[in-house]
């Protein structure tokens, strides 16, 4: 677990369910976790506690149940993804456009799945979190998630993502991007996303 921005912590863990490393984030000020899989060291880096967990889509529930048991926190998922939770998980719905605990704004992305959601952080400002549409391998460029994860019509999904991200860029200017799959983009994130869309 490392502090990538003041009060924003990132870590990556191999997720056996999908056989790849995934990223999680902790916002220390509001005590909010994004898409959490427990760090290798366990919850030792979360001594200040966790009040809320926010999922960028329904597939990122990950270790939320263990964290709810330990901290009594609330898990949030956009309402169109609630059908995923059929095993007694307690998940609170939000609608795209709502502002969530921690002063986090939400915006629908869709395309790759109906509940794909972007999060816009206001504490600290200039930070966004994206779910599964784009990934980053190491310190490389942005990429679309591989076609095999895009269903039967990958090109249609890519077109939908480009439309959504273009709309997103029209509404928000941001310096930093937290990715659910891959290293976060620190500094120049809006421009990096624009350049990726231009080349895609």
pLDDT of residue 74: 98
Contact between 131 and 168 (Cβ < 8 Å): no
> Per the structure, how many domains does the chain have?
1
Based on its alpha-carbon atoms, the radius of gyration of the chain, rounded to whole angstroms, reads 16
Residue 32's DSSP bridge partners are 27, 52
Query: Does residue 14 have a pLDDT over 90?
Result: no
Whether residue 19 has pLDDT greater than 80: no
pLDDT (tens digit per residue) in 165-189: 999 999 999 999 999 999 999 999 9
Predicted TM-score of the model (pTM): 0.94
Identify which of 150, 125, 143, 123 has the alpha carbon closest to the alpha carbon of residue 183.
Answer: 143
Q: How far apart are the C-alpha atoms of 18 and 22, rounded to whole Å? A: 9
Percent of the chain beyond pLDDT 70? 100
SS3 of residue 166 by DSSP: helix
DSSP state string for 151-162: TT-HHHHHHHHH
Whole-number Å distance between alpha carbons of 25 and 184: 10
Backbone φ and ψ for 44, nearest 5 degrees, come out as -65, -25
- Print the domain residue range for 34: 2-199
Q: Which of 133-157 are b and which e, b meaning 16 or more Cβ less than 10 Å from the residue's Cβ?
A: bbbbeeeeebebbeeeebeeebeeb
Q: Is the pLDDT of residue 107 over 90?
A: yes
Residue 104: pLDDT over 90: yes
Q: How confident is the model at residue 20 (pLDDT cuts 50, 70, 90)?
A: confident
Mean pLDDT of the chain: 94
Tell me the CATH number at 35.
Answer: 3.60.15.10
pLDDT of residue 62: 92
Using the 8-state DSSP alphabet, how is residue 146 labeled?
P
| CA–CA separation, 127 and 190 (whole Å) | 10
Mark residue 126 as left, alpha or beta (left: phi above 0; alpha: psi -120 to 50; beta: remaining): left
Q: Per-residue pLDDT tens for 34-92?
A: 999 988 777 777 888 999 999 999 999 999 999 999 999 999 999 999 999 999 899 99
pLDDT at 40: 73
């Amino acid at each position: 677990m490392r502090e990538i921005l003041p009060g924003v912590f990132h870590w990556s863990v191999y997720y056996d369910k999908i056989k790849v490393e995934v990223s999680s984030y902790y916002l220390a000020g509001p005590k909010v976790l994004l898409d959490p899989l427990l760090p290798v060291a366990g919850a030792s880096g979360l001594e200040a506690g966790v009040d809320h967990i926010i999922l960028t889509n329904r597939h990122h529930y990950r270790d939320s149940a263990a964290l709810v048991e330990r901290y009594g926190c609330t898990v949030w998922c956009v309402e169109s993804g609630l059908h995923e939770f059929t095993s007694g998980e307690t998940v609170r719905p939000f609608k795209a456009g709502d502002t969530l605990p921690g002063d986090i704004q939400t915006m629908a992305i869709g395309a790759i799945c109906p509940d794909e959601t972007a999060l816009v952080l206001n504490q600290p400002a200039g930070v966004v979190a994206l779910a599964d549409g784009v990934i980053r391998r190491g310190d490389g460029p942005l990429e679309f998630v591989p076609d095999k994860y895009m269903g039967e019509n990958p090109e249609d999904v890519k077109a939908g993502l480009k439309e959504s991200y273009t709309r997103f860029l029209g509404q928000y200017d941001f310096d930093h991007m937290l990715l659910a799959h891959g290293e976060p983009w620190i500094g120049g994130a809006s421009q990096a996303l624009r350049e990726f869309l231009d080349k895609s």
